[in-house]
Amino acid sequence: EIVMTQSPATLSVSPGERATLSCRASQSVSSNLAWYQQKPGQAPRLLIYDASTRAPGIPARFSGSGSGTEFTLTISSLQSEDFAVYYCQQYNDWPPITFGQGTRLEIK
C-alpha cells in the first residue's frame, strides 16, 4: 500500500499571500495524484488531477506540480474562501486508493 504523507499538518497564512502545501508518496505514483479541498460540513471537492490539471471551475490561483514521490499544491494569493482542509490522493497503484492525512490551511 502506498502511504501518502502531507506537510505541514497545519499552515497559517495571511489573506493575499501564497500558500504551499506538500504531499509525499512512499513510492513513485508517477503523475497519478489528485488534490481535494474540504470546508467544514461539506463534501470534498476535486481541485487538481493528474498532478497538475485543474478540475473544471477551479480558479487559476490553484496550481499543482510534481511527479514521482514529491508533489506541491500552490495557492498563489489566498482568498478568504480558500481556508479549508486539503487532501492529496494517489491513484497510480490501487487498490487501495490512498489519501494523505490532510493539511489544515488557517488564517494567520
Partner 1 sequence: EVQLVESGGGLVQPGGSLRLSCSVSGFIFNSYGMNWVRQAPGKGLEWVSFISFSGRSMYYADSVKGRFTISRDNAKNSLYLQMHSLRAEDTAVYYCTRDPDGYNFDWGQGTLVTVSS
Segment 16 to 45, residues that bind partner 1, using CB under 8 A = 32, 34, 36, 38, 43-45
Q: Out of 19, 73, 87, 105, which residue is the one contacting partner 1 (CB under 8 A)?
A: 87
CA-closest candidate to residue 53, choices 23, 38, 33, 78: 33
Q: Does 101 bind partner 1 (CB under 8 A)?
A: yes
- Which of 3-26 are b and which e, b meaning 16 or more Cβ less than 10 Å from the residue's Cβ? ebebeeeebebeeeeebebbbbbe
Q: Which of residues 47-66 bind partner 1 (CB under 8 A)?
A: 49, 55
Interior/surface letters 43-66, b for 16+ CB within 10 angstroms, e for the rest: ebeebbbebbebeeebeeebbbeb
Query: Scanning the structure block, which residue is given the C-alpha cell 512512499?
Result: 26
Our CB check for partner 1 shows the closer of 77 and 84 to be 84
Question: Which CB atom, from 69 or from 102, has the smaller least distance to partner 1?
Answer: 102
In the complex, least distance from residue 49 CB atom to partner 1, rounded to whole angstroms: 5
Q: Which residues bind to partner 1, rule: CB under 8 A?
A: 32, 34, 36, 38, 43-46, 49, 55, 87, 89, 91-92, 94-102
